[in-house]
Amino acid sequence: MIRLDGVTKQYPDGTVAVDDLSLTAPDRAITVLVGPSGCGKTTTLRMINRMIEPTAGSVTIDGQDVLAMDAAQLRRGIGYVIQHGGLFPHHTVERNVAAVPLLLGTAKKTAISRARELLELVGLDPALGRRYPSQLSGGQQQRVGVARALAADPPVMLMDEPFSAVDPVVREQLQDEFLRLQGELGKTIVMVTHDIDEAIKLGDHVAVLRVGGRIAQLARPHELLAHPADGFVADFLGRDRGYRALGFERASIPLHDEPTVALGSGVGDAAARAGNDGWVLVIDDRRRPQGWARPADLGDGVVDKTSLALGGTLARVDGPLRAALDAALSSPSRRGVVVDGDGALAGTCRATEVLSVIEAQERPHDPGGATP
């Protein structure tokens, strides 16, 4: 557990970057600091590994005062990831990943072979280890940065806008991979971002900071969306927050049996199974939905992949209400396709019925939420 208690940082020019900030980052969870540019996020993060010394207050990790520890030793025990990966340009990728273990005296052969394992762990081909950072894409460099931070297997990781410098598609991939990795590794992570969507996606707890380094709200993501503490937080969350909050709400969704045809069936059979609107759901031999077809628009042949209209999104039976609503709204037939854990068809849902479920629910409160 990382604990900041009444931490203040005033720079020599008089700027108060962080003002009397108190925050707890629980073990094995991702705590995100989010806020506009200049609100003191980087300063706060760097006070945890003492790259910046606080003017007042205390920082402890597992009860140990970091100010009483040797700064260099402290830093080697904390993974640190920054924008662009922060790699040494004149070292190979694997040498970059092995940097801290080598510094700690690990034998070179061991460190390099471990580096290759880590590259694989973060989703890179270990063969890339021989290249130099400039020979990798931005997204690959960012993965190397994560691998390097993990190399000494530190229990704590600090991440400063780790995914900001890459394009949106790659960013989403990196975020998904990062969540998968955290599911396996369970590090205690403090991450900084200016992107509220990233904060909500990745954070177990999210601290929204305002300029001057003060916490506007510290809560779990769904609580933030459902109950922003004030106008600043609500503005910062932006549009669609009622809809986005549904991404965290689950309830059982009324399901309907949906007539189906198998891929490869005759168009005539498909026409006989189609609903009043002419659409029929096509499945494969394991009952996995393949898409919707409208037999009236097809010739006399069989229903194959080319017969399918672009389908809607799929929802899971145990998934969030937002996914169920979206499945219905995005389906060409307006019947939302719901699948089980194996991806097999469970039934279809209707937008009005999902809305009725939502209407019947109270807005969620958060008894288990974080407190500063």
Q: Which stretch binds ligand ADP (CB under 6 A): 38-46, 163-171, 312-320, 353-361?
A: 38-46
Residues sharing a CB contact under 8 Å with residue 235, sequence separation 6 or more, in sequence order: none
Residue closer to ligand ADP, measured from CB, 39 or 338: 39
Residue 38 interacts, among ligand ADP, Mg ion, none and using kind-specific CB cut-offs from 5 to 8 Å, with ligand ADP
With CB under 5 A as the rule, give the number of residues binding Mg ion: 1
Among 19, 30, 41, 119, binds ligand ADP (CB under 6 A): 41
Amino acid identity of residue 80, one-letter, is: Y
Residue 11 interacts, among Mg ion, ligand ADP, none and using kind-specific CB cut-offs from 5 to 8 Å, with ligand ADP
Number of neighbours of residue 112 by Cβ within 10 angstroms: 18
Residue closer to ligand ADP, measured from CB, 160 or 326: 160
Give the sheet arrangement for strand 64-65, strand by strand.
16-25, 2-10, 56-61, 64-65
Among 21, 25, 42, 139, binds Mg ion (CB under 5 A): 42
Residue closer to ligand ADP, measured from CB, 11 or 243: 11
Q: How far is the CB of 92 from Mg ion (least distance, A)?
A: 29
Residues in the chain: 372
Coil/strand/helix, residue 129:
helix
Residues sharing a CB contact under 8 Å with residue 68, sequence separation 6 or more, in sequence order: none
Of all residues in this chain, which one has the CB nearest to Mg ion in the complex?
42
Q: Are strands 156-160 and 78-82 parallel, antiparallel or unpaired?
A: parallel
Among 21, 23, 43, 47, binds ligand ADP (CB under 6 A): 43
Q: Cβ(347)–Cβ(201) under 8 Å?
A: no
x/- track of binding to ligand ADP for residues 12-31 (CB under 6 A): -x-x-x--------------
Q: How far is the CB of 255 from Mg ion (least distance, A)?
A: 46
Of 219, 194, 215, 159, give the one whose Cα is nearest residue 21: 215
With CB under 6 A as the rule, give the number of residues binding ligand ADP: 11
Amino acid identity of residue 292, one-letter, is: W
Residue closer to ligand ADP, measured from CB, 9 or 95: 9
DSSP conformation class of 250: -
Q: Cβ(203)–Cβ(223) under 8 Å?
A: no
Residue closer to Mg ion, measured from CB, 18 or 219: 18
Among 3, 21, 40, 225, binds ligand ADP (CB under 6 A): 40
Which residues, in sequence order, are bridge partners of residue 219?
206
Residue closer to Mg ion, measured from CB, 207 or 337: 207
Residue 300 interacts, among Mg ion, ligand ADP, none and using kind-specific CB cut-offs from 5 to 8 Å, with none
Residues sharing a CB contact under 8 Å with residue 26, sequence separation 6 or more, in sequence order: 1, 188, 204, 205, 370
Dihedral sign of CA atoms 230, 235, 237, 242 in order = positive
Q: Which stretch binds ligand ADP (CB under 6 A): 37-45, 95-103, 294-302, 330-338?
A: 37-45
The reply on whether position 44 binds Mg ion by CB under 5 A is no
Of 132, 131, 127, 105, give the one whose Cα is nearest residue 116: 127
Q: Which stretch binds ligand ADP (CB under 6 A): 32-40, 125-133, 171-179, 331-339?
A: 32-40
Kindly give the interhelix angle for 138-150 and 108-121, rounded to the nearest 10 degrees. 130
Residue 141 interacts, among ligand ADP, Mg ion, none and using kind-specific CB cut-offs from 5 to 8 Å, with none
User: Residue 140 and residue 125: Cα distance in Å, rounded?
Assistant: 10
* Structure tokens, 34: 């989010």
Q: Which residues of the shown chain bind Mg ion in the complex (CB under 5 A)?
A: 42
> Which residues of the chain form contacts with ligand ADP (CB under 6 A)?
11, 13, 15, 17, 37-43
